[in-house]
């Protein structure tokens, strides 16, 4: 019993997770979660299956609690746990009867393999999705999704090649308005905009308020996702839902680009049924503001305002499946209803 | 008032007025003519107590009701009735009138054999447990898809226990045919539900896979074990899992709307209540089965806040709803929900209320209710119950002691028709109407009322886009995932 707790002391899973996300800009949340779990297993000297599972469960719960929005990472932890259990249940050398050290070694190597494969999946998606960027079309996109960026880049890079795709991009940039501390901070996605412009793609940037105005000029809407939920809807950066609604109203195809490891076992029934707490709508009177201001001055703790700003950048909304035309994933281009099929395949 | 007592007076005047046309048998026509003559004699005598006076009294009440309806329908009908009366006496003329088809044309293909009314004529192979179960299902004593499935399996377990393989055949071959007799009998009592069908298919598959060399006792024990584990896995435990996960979707302050009496929804709501969640339940119910009453009673007993409405109050009930929970009879392969008639109305009202986003419709359904059939509408596949179930109405107790207005009008009508002569009959009719208010049901004589057809349909189909989520023991799914899960759960 003392084993795991001692091992956990030197190894802080939350810090590892955050560190992984910070150092590797290509890392997505589920992959970072899996990688940190693999690291945890290497650091902890657990010797039985149940001990390992117990440790994983505890660390996962701890990790989920410490991160404000655990939807993305829970896709990774769930997947890893599931993989672990199926591996252990399989008969043979690695089954319950086998040597535990062999099992562990196998798990670790496979965990690494999984992480590597997940990173490669972005290229695969770009290959699948390239066909959706047609010559002469205008793409509307938002947020800072790296998959969308790599897809657009792939399409742009072919410009000089055989299939010359000329396209334009309307990029919806959320001004970092919630960022009180740093009003001049670069809006999310600016990096992609620069990169696209460098490769010769004309990019227009618009604020979210201009989406309805501009969507008439766009042919296709392509967005990224933080998590793909069980009914085929997506959890994504705040503002994606309204993009979806407008695209539906204007009858523009709305594509979602996401790696299949982002499929998560969550079934939200609506915007307010997400398993996270978001403080987006906050009613205040002048009195409340004065009160809060006073408290802030009293406390003078520096981390409070910084936290709120980062929180604002991380808020998400839920786009229901009926707004989505298709999901471009590394296991193919799926309709929203096929997502549940994929999920069931993973889980049963 | 019991059902047969209702029907008897309804049938009596029928025989008097219409029997020639209805039965098309000479003997009957003659009998009716004789009766009519008798009646005329009695009328003339001013209500002489005859041998069938007890029935005559009731008959007068019912007849009065019929008369009242005619008065309401206008002069033309009255004329027709007079014509008919004339025709009863002139036998041959009446025979030419065709029997009016009381089947609703669109649903004509659903009128099969009428449901069995007794065990008479059942094959000798049918086990007593199955005989009893058949009648219980027919009378809705055992009602609900899962309950019927479990009861059938348990009855079949007893059949298997009592079974001995005849000489010269093997258990795996003969038992299937033996069970087929039981199944045929059950389906004449009430058409089998999807879950029953699925369970029977699984059982037959199991029987067929028994090695003929296995001793009989061992095979029977294995089958009993199979039935037990099927019930446990597919229904008992599945229900617990579903109730547990569906209860997670209930939050404090929710107003849950549910329709009719799904046992699974009941379990879900009770599970949520046990978890200490505070929510209100609005039970929508409908005639003629009133399944919601039982649900409402149970929920109230569990300390929940319950509102009970019939389906015509749906728009009020749905107004402050936050979630809709529905039970299922079956889920079809195109994701549609096949459930008690009226379910579609509830689901659609919930989705149409506020642009269809805010009130999620959640279906609780075991995977044993999934079918590979496809339902495009509620017409092609459905079940019809006895239309007389719609007629029997328990009128509320009349406090003022005034006679039923319809009956009073009927009595007045009768009086005017007969020129004030049969004063006593009219009086007795009036008092009978006051005593037996059910006789005044406007539908009591529906079989004799021309151009009136009653439809007592059991199920309807809710389109997939009105269902947000299907909670099964294998997880929560969108309705589009039903065929995938069905394929997986049948292959395993």
Query: Does the pLDDT at position B440 exceed 80?
Result: no
Q: Cβ contact (<8 Å) for B485 and A337?
A: no
CATH 3.40.50.10470 residue window(s) in chain A: 133-277+315-347
pLDDT per residue as tens digits for the range B327-374: 999 999 999 999 999 999 999 988 887 554 578 999 999 999 999 999
By mean pLDDT, which of A51-60, A104-113, A265-274, B208-217 is the weakest? A104-113
Q: Check CB contact under 8 Å for A232 and B478.
A: yes
Which chain B residues are closer than 8 Å to A232 by Cβ?
478, 480
User: Which carries the bigger pLDDT value, residue B41 or residue A49?
Assistant: A49
A133-277+315-347 domain in CATH 3.20.20.70? no
pLDDT tens, residue by residue, B268-284: 999 999 999 999 999 99
Neighbouring residues of B383: CB distance < 8 A, sequence distance ≥ 6: B110, B190, B191, B457, B458, B459
A220-224 and A254-257 strand pairing: parallel
Q: Which of A50-64, B128-142, B392-406 has the lowest mean pLDDT?
A: B392-406
CA dist., res. B334 & res. B463, Å (int): 9
Handedness of CA A144, A147, A148, A149 (dihedral sign): positive
Q: Does the beta-carbon distance from A347 to B475 stay under 8 Å?
A: yes
Residue A254 near residue A324, CB atoms below 8 Å: yes
Query: Residues of B with CB below 8 A from A321's CB?
Result: 478
How many beta-carbon pairs below 8 A join chains A and B?
48
Confidence at B48, pLDDT banded by 50, 70, 90: very low
Q: Which residues of A touch B370 (CB under 8 A)?
A: none
Mutation for testing the B interface, residue in A82, A231, A265, A327 having most B CBs under 10 Å:
A231
DSSP state at residue B457: B
Measured between CB atoms, does B469 come within 8 Å of chain A? yes
Least confident range of A90-99, A121-130, A261-270? A90-99
- Quick: pLDDT tens for A222-232: 999 989 998 89
Tokens 């009855």 belong to residue: B155
CA torsion, ordered B260, B262, B267, B271, to nearest 10 deg? -50
Å between A322 CA and nearest CA of chain B: 9
Q: What is the pLDDT of residues A265-277, one digit of tens each?
A: 889 988 888 888 8
pLDDT at A34 exceeding the cut of 50: yes
* DSSP notation for B22-38: HH--HHHHHHHHHHHHH
φ/ψ region of B271 (left if φ > 0, alpha if ψ in -120 to 50, else beta) reads alpha
Q: pLDDT-based confidence at B198, cuts 50/70/90?
A: very high
Is the Cβ pair A344, B465 closer than 8 Å? no
pLDDT mean over B81-94: 45
User: CA dist B297 to A257, A338, B210, B281, B301, Å?
Assistant: 50, 41, 46, 12, 6
pLDDT in tens, A289-346: 898 888 888 776 554 444 444 455 678 899 999 999 999 998 889 999 888 888 877 7
Q: Do B478 and A265 touch (CB under 8 A)?
A: no
Mean per-residue pLDDT, A18-39: 81
Q: What is the pLDDT of residue A65?
A: 83
Query: Does B42 score more than 90 pLDDT?
Result: no
pLDDT in tens, B114-146: 777 777 888 888 999 999 999 999 888 898 899
Q: Touching check for B104 and chain A: CB below 8 Å?
A: no
Whether the per-residue pLDDT at B70 is higher than 50: the answer is no
How close is the nearest chain A Cα to the Cα of B259, in Å? 20
- Option in B465, B469, B481 nearest A344 (CB): B481
C-beta separation of A165 from A155 below 8 A: yes
Q: How far is CA A12 from CA A1, A71, A84, B136, in A?
A: 18, 20, 21, 63
Which ipTM did the prediction report?
Answer: 0.79
Q: What is the pLDDT of residue B129?
A: 92
The tokens for B32 are 């009716």
Q: Is domain B128-239 classified as CATH 3.30.70.120? A: no
| Peptide bond before residue B288 is cis, with ω within 30 degrees of 0 | yes
Contact residues for B62 (Cβ-Cβ < 8 A; gap 6+): B9, B10, B12, B13, B439, B444, B445
Per-residue pLDDT band at B474 (split at 50, 70, 90): confident
Alpha helices in B308-441 (DSSP H): 314-317, 343-353, 405-417, 423-435
Q: Which residues in chain A are contacts of B481 at CB distance < 8 A?
A: 337, 340-341, 344
Under the banding of pLDDT at 50, 70 and 90, the label for residue B79 is very low
| Predicted pLDDT of residue A348 | 66
**What angle, 0 to 180 degrees and rounded to 10, lies between the N-to-C axes of helices A146-157 and A100-129?**
50
Q: Which residue has the tokens 């290509």?
A: A26
Q: Which of A92-106, B69-83, B375-389 has the lowest mean pLDDT?
A: B69-83
Selected for mutation to probe chain B from A323, A344, A345 (highest B CB count within 10 Å) is A344
Per-residue pLDDT, A3:
41
Residue written as tokens 């460098």?
A: A198
More confident position, B63 or B267: B267
The DSSP string of B70-115 is HHHH-HHHHHHHHHHHHHHHSHHHHHTSPPPP-S-GGGGGG--SPP
Give A-chain residues touching B485 at CB under 8 angstroms.
Answer: 344
Nearest to B236 by CA among B200, B263, B258: B263
From chain A, the residues in CB contact with B480 under 8 A are 232, 337, 340
Put the strands of the sheet holding A138-142 in their side by side order.
Answer: A203-206, A168-172, A138-142, A220-224, A254-257, A326-329, A332-334
Question: Nearest-CA distance from B442 to chain A in Å?
Answer: 45
Q: Identify any residues that bridge with B409 across adjacent strands, giving them in sequence order.
A: none
Kindly identify which residue of chain B lies nearest to residue A320, measuring between CA atoms: B357
Q: Which CATH class is domain B241-380+458-491?
A: alpha beta
Task: Quote the CA–CA distance of B56 and B12 in Å, as a whole number.
Answer: 9
Contacts of A336 in chain B (CB under 8 A): 478
Torsion-angle region of A170 (φ positive above 0: left; ψ -120 to 50: alpha; else: beta): beta
Q: What is the mean pLDDT of residues A62-71?
A: 82
Predicted local confidence at residue A213, as pLDDT: 94
The Cα of A137 is separated from the nearest Cα of chain B by a number of Å equal to 32
Nearest CA to CA, how far is A3 from chain B (Å)?
A: 34
List chain B domain ranges: 3-99+405-440, 128-239, 241-380+458-491
Picking from B465, B469, B484, the nearest residue to A341 by CB comes out as B484
- Which residues of chain A are within 8 Å of residue B487 when distances are taken between CB atoms? none
Task: State the DSSP code for B330.
Answer: E
Residues 237-266 on B with a CB inside 8 Å of A are 249
Q: Give how far the C-alpha of residue B477 lies from the chain's centroid of Cα atoms, to the nearest Å.
A: 30
Nearest CA in chain B to A269: B360
What angle, 0 to 180 degrees and rounded to 10, lies between the N-to-C axes of helices A303-313 and A286-299?
A: 130
Q: What is the pLDDT of residue B397?
A: 61
Q: How far apart are the CA of A337 and the nearest CA of chain B, in angstroms? A: 6
pLDDT of B405: 56
Q: Could you give the residue range(s) of every CATH 1.20.120 domain in chain A?
A: 2-120
| Structure confidence at residue A56 (pLDDT) | 83
Give me the residue from A269, A320, A336 closest to B249, CB to CB: A269
Confidence band for B26, pLDDT divided at 50, 70 and 90:
low
Fold that domain A2-120 belongs to in CATH: 1.20.120
**Among the listed residues A165, A247, A172, the one whose alpha carbon sits nearest the alpha carbon of residue A200:** A165
For residue A176, pLDDT beyond 60: no
Which band of pLDDT confidence, cut at 50, 70 and 90, is reported for residue B393? low
Which range has the worst mean pLDDT, A67-76, B149-158, B411-420?
Answer: B411-420
* Long-range contacts of the stretch B485-488 (C-beta < 8 A, 24+): B485/A344, B485/B367, B485/B370, B486/B333, B486/B367, B486/B370, B486/B371, B486/B372, B488/A344, B488/A348
pLDDT of residue B8: 42
Q: Which of B256, B353, B475 to mutate: most A Cβ within 10 Å?
A: B475
Instruction: Convert the pLDDT of each residue in A236-292 to its tens digit.
Output: 988 899 999 999 999 999 999 998 888 888 899 888 888 888 888 889 899 988 988
Q: CB B469 to CB A267 under 8 A? A: yes
């Amino acid at each position: 019993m003392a084993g795991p707790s001692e091992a956990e002391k030197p190894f802080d899973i939350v810090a590892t997770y955050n560190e992984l996300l910070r150092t590797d800009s290509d890392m997505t949340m589920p992959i970072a979660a899996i990688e940190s779990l693999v690291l945890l297993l290497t650091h902890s000297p657990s010797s039985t299956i149940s001990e390992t599972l117990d440790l994983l469960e505890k660390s996962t719960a701890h990790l989920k609690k410490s991160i404000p929005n655990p939807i993305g990472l829970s896709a990774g932890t769930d997947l890893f746990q599931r993989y672990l259990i199926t591996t252990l249940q399989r008969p043979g050398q690695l089954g319950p009867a086998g040597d535990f050290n062999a099992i562990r070694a196998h798990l670790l190597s496979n965990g690494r393999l999984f992480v590597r494969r997940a990173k490669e999946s972005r290229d695969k998606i770009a290959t699948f999705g390239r066909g959706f960027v047609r010559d002469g079309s205008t793409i509307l996109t938002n947020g800072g999704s790296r998959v969308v960026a790599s897809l657009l880049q792939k399409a742009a890079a072919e410009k000089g090649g055989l299939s010359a795709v000329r396209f334009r991009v309307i990029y919806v940039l959320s001004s970092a308005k919630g960022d009180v501390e740093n009003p001049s901070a670069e809006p999310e996605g600016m990096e992609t905009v620069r990169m696209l412009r460098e490769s010769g793609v004309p990019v227009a940037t618009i604020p979210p308020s201009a989406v309805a105005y501009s969507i008439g000029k766009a042919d296709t809407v392509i967005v990224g996702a933080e998590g793909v939920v069980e009914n085929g809807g997506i959890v994504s950066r705040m503002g994606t839902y309204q993009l979806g609604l407008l695209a539906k109203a204007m009858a523009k195809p709305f594509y979602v680009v996401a790696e299949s490891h982002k499929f998560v076992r969550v079934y939200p029934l609506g915007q307010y049924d997400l398993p996270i707490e978001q403080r987006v709508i906050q009613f205040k009177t002048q009195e409340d503001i004065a009160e809060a201001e006073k408290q802030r001055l009293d406390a003078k703790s520096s981390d409070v305002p910084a936290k709120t700003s980062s929180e604002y950048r991380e808020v998400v909304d839920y786009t229901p499946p009926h707004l989505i035309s298709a999901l471009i994933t590394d296991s193919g281009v799926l309709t929203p209803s096929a997502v549940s099929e994929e999920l069931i395949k993973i889980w049963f | 008032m019991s059902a047969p007592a209702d029907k008897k007076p309804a049938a009596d005047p029928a025989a008097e007025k219409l029997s020639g046309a209805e039965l098309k048998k000479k003997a009957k026509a003659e009998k009716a003519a004789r009766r009519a003559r008798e009646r005329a004699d009695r009328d003339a005598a001013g209500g002489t107590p005859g041998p069938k006076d007890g029935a005559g009294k009731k008959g007068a009440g019912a007849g009065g009701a019929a008369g009242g309806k005619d008065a309401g329908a206008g002069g033309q009908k009255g004329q027709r009735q007079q014509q008919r009366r004339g025709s009863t006496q002139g036998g041959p003329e009446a025979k030419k009138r065709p029997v009016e088809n009381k089947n609703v044309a669109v649903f004509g293909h659903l009128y099969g054999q009428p449901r069995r009314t007794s065990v008479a004529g059942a094959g000798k192979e049918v086990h007593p447990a199955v005989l009893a179960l058949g009648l219980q299902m027919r009378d809705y004593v055992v009602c609900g898809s899962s309950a019927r499935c479990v009861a059938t399996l348990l009855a079949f377990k007893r059949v298997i226990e009592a079974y001995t393989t005849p000489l010269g055949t093997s258990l795996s071959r003969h038992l299937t045919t033996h069970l087929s007799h039981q199944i045929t009998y059950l389906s004449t009592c009430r058409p089998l539900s999807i879950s029953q069908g699925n369970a029977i298919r699984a059982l037959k598959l199991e029987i067929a896979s028994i090695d003929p060399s296995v001793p009989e006792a061992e095979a029977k024990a294995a089958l009993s074990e199979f039935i037990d584990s099927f019930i446990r896995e597919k229904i008992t435990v599945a229900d617990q899992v579903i109730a547990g996960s569906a209860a997670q979707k209930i939050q404090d302050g929710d107003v849950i709307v549910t329709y009719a009496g799904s046992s699974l929804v009941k379990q879900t709501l009770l599970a949520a209540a046990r978890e200490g969640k505070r929510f209100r339940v609005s039970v929508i119910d409908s005639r003629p089965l009133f399944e919601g009453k039982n649900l409402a009673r149970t929920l109230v007993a569990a300390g929940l806040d319950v509102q009970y409405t019939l389906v015509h109050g749906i728009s009020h009930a749905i107004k402050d709803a936050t979630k809709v929970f529905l039970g299922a009879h079956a889920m079809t392969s195109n994701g549609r929900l096949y459930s008690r008639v009226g379910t579609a109305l509830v689901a659609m009202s919930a989705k149409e209320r506020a642009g269809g986003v805010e009130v999620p419709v959640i279906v609780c359904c075991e995977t044993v209710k999934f079918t590979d059939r496809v339902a495009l509408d509620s017409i092609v596949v459905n079940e019809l119950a006895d239309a007389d179930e719609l007629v029997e109405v328990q009128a509320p107790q009349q406090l003022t002691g005034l006679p039923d207005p319809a009956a009073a009008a009927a009595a007045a009508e009768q009086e005017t028709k007969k020129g004030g002569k049969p004063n006593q009959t009219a009086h007795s009719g009036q008092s009978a109407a006051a005593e037996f208010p059910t006789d005044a049901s406007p539908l009591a004589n529906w079989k004799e009322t021309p151009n009136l057809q009653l439809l007592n349909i059991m199920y309807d189909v809710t389109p997939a886009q009105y269902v947000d989520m299907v909670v099964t023991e294998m997880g929560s799914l969108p309705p589009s995932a039903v065929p995938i899960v069905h394929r997986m759960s049948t292959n395993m």
